[in-house]
Amino acid sequence: MTEHTAHLDPYLCARFYINGQWCLPVVDASLPVINPATETVVAHVAKGSAQDVDLAVSAARAAFAHWSLSTIDTRVQVLTRLHELMLARTEAFAQVLTLEMGAAISFARAMQVPLAAEHIRVVRDLLPHYSFETMEGGTAIAREAIGVCALITPWNWPLYQITAKAAAAIAAGCTVVLKPSELSPLSALLFAQLMHDAGVPAGVFNLVNGGGADVGEAMAAHPDVDMISITGSNRAGALVAQAAAPTFKRVTQELGGKSPNLMLPDADFATAVEKGVMSAFRNVGQSCSAPTRMLVPRNRLAEVEALAAATANAIVVGDPACVDTVMGPIANEAQFNRVQAMIDAGLNGGAKLVCGGPGRVAGMDTGFYARPTIFSEVDACMRIAQEEIFGPVLCIMPYDTVEQALALANNTVYGLSAHVQGTDLAQVRAVASRIRAGQVLLNYPAWNPHAPFGGYKRSGNGREFGVFGFEEYLETKALIGV
């Protein structure tokens, strides 16, 4: 893909979207955007400051007065136009996602963009049926928009996380200030233009690009922000919570994961192992819910290793612009280096290397291309078993009993997601009920955009998607004596 394929607009890159207009930053500063497939700068975007955040929050605060009182029909109409426009511009979004974070173009077209559009459709469809007021005895319970919402989104699923947050907030009657990741900001600029073209009223949606220290912290600490929602690393989540604490605003966080994939003894291993590897390596392993710990019966370990290696070795790694590519590059240099360090940690820690290993993919000296890597005989005390790697690295961990497997599954500070495979559905459900995670997937079901997504323990707090994500943007009021 040439760097012109995505039709980047230098005008948008140099500006923020505030109060319905494209505005130059208060301070003239910019950030480079790197194509991870070529390691070249493909754009510069405006770098925001606390002053830009003030302008955006002020616009959002003013707009909240009328948007919070808008009719359900008005919001449904806006969300309908937004959904239609996103589907119409799927190719433009897919090309930009490939450019800014290396998503394979086929994956961007089939997953990154359509699933992002689904978040808009789901909240649009639930709005007319949602009861914003219910009765409890002689008391009316009202659900009202919480206010101005600051949204911080990550680089690994840029558009998908933007729509999950922004669509729910706007549907609830809130107004928004968005800070996308500075590593993948281009799709967010296209989304802002989408908002404008869909007729979202001025001030309801605002965007300020920049880093966490400059923009994210200012948003979290701002006294006129009522809620902040962040998807990101545990470090970033902690910093946001600390900055938000003095103003007592609501903070929702979707953070790290180290998800287990527990294969019960009666699982169909020929199918389950292949699907498990591909699930772990989806989006180049850069998913917080990726099932990167495969727990298998010890007496099936050699079989699992062979199946897993065959699957990983068949993955087509290459130019993300090629339609045959399954796995493009790691999204940025810092993450590539992190993945390499963790592969070294696995080797140094005594894990058995089944396939892959350190270094770039053979013949690909340019671009952040990591080798699909599988370790076996991984012990729970090893770093690769405990720390989120966020790359194409899978740990196979043997167990002797189902009770031991459950202990391994729960032996993590995280609790975002988990998988269980087996043919005895009663046992699958019983095992799933004992795993401490916000979402457990049984035998690789289809993605459900209505299913609540969020974690236990250090994976964060709050939920996203469907009605559960929508309600995060509502306050509860009791009207007593009505």
Sign of CA pseudo-dihedral 387, 388, 390, 391:
positive
Tokens of 109: 């077209």
Strand order in the sheet with 16-18: 21-23, 16-18, 205-207, 175-179, 148-152, 227-231, 250-254, 460-461
The amino acid occupying position 350 is G
Q: Which of 100, 182, 254, 464 is catalytic?
A: 254
Pairing of strands 417-421, 414-415: unpaired
The whole-angstrom separation of Cα 382 and Cα 389 is: 12
List, in order, residues 6 or more apart from 128 with CB less than 8 Å away.
Answer: 72, 76
Q: Which of 23, 149, 174, 288 is catalytic?
A: 288
Q: How many CB atoms sit inside 10 A of residue 102's CB?
A: 30
Segment holding 272, helix H or strand E: helix 269-280
Q: Known catalytic residue: 254?
A: yes
Q: What single DSSP character describes residue 201?
A: P
Three-point CA angle 373, 377, 382, nearest 5° = 80
Tokens of 123: 């909240």
User: For residues 209 and 179, is the Cβ–Cβ distance under 8 A?
Assistant: yes
Pairing of strands 373-376, 352-355: antiparallel
Write the DSSP assignment of 91-130 as a string of letters.
Answer: HHHHHHHHHHH---HHHIIIIIHHHHHHHHHHHHHHGGG-
The whole-angstrom separation of Cα 204 and Cα 166 is: 10
C-alpha distances in Å from residue 464, one per residue of 135, 166, 455? 26, 11, 10
Q: Known catalytic residue: 118?
A: no
Catalytic residue numbers, as ranges: 254, 288
